[in-house]
Amino acid sequence: ATILTKDGRRMSKSLGTGIDPMDLINQYGADATRFGLIWQAQGGQDIHWSEEHVNAGKKFANKIWNASRFALMKSEKTKIDLSKKPKAKTTEDKKILAALDKVSKNVSEKIDKYEFGQALHDLYEFFWHNFCDKYIESAKLQIADKKNPENTRAILLYTLSQSLKLLHPFMPHLTEEIWENMPVKNKKLLMVESWPR
């Protein structure tokens, strides 16, 4: 796709209509800048550049960071084995694991077809709404209830770890930083971990 200004003119350094990506990186961060560019790539059509999507990427990075901090704080003594998916013990557990399976499949298929913008939209929807808005809120209650706190912690960490893998191609710096703090057995760098199946 060709990147155009908001008013539809071609971005050009000589015409003075271009944007220096380093300015965006300095203001919002590299991952937010990548997010903003990929978010707007919705197929073959031209992109009418909008900086608001880079700002949305910064907010999303903050959401990922805060959700990760919560999951890690609640699971500080839990070590997880990523080769095994935890068993769902509540309706909320079942919903998040089913949603994770669905988004993993959809994102993988879209990346294979070079539909990066659509893949990122799917991930955003899953992480923000399914994981943060729904599962984290129910996990707080499940952990406080003390019926299956360890299982809830395992599902929190498992979902977070798989989400970080899916998000890594789009936001590599943030996800690698969080991954470094994950209590995962036999951990390697995130960029060489196996892709979710």
Q: pLDDT at position 148, please?
A: 81
pLDDT tens digits for 107-132?
999 999 999 999 999 999 999 999 99
Report the predicted TM-score, pTM, of the whole model to 2 decimal places: 0.89
Q: pLDDT at position 72, please?
A: 92
Residues 6+ apart with CB under 8 A from 25: 33
Q: Where are the beta strands (DSSP E) in 7-144?
A: 47-48
| In contact, 179 and 166? CB cutoff 8 Å | no
Q: pLDDT at position 80, please?
A: 73
Cα(194)–Cα(77) distance, integer angstroms? 24
Q: pLDDT at position 48, please?
A: 76
Q: pLDDT at position 44, please?
A: 67
Q: pLDDT at position 74, please?
A: 86
Pick out the chain residues at pLDDT < 50.
none
Q: pLDDT at position 131, please?
A: 98
- CA 43-49-52 angle, to 5 degrees, is 110
| In contact, 63 and 17? CB cutoff 8 Å | no
Residues 6+ apart with CB under 8 A from 149: 142, 143
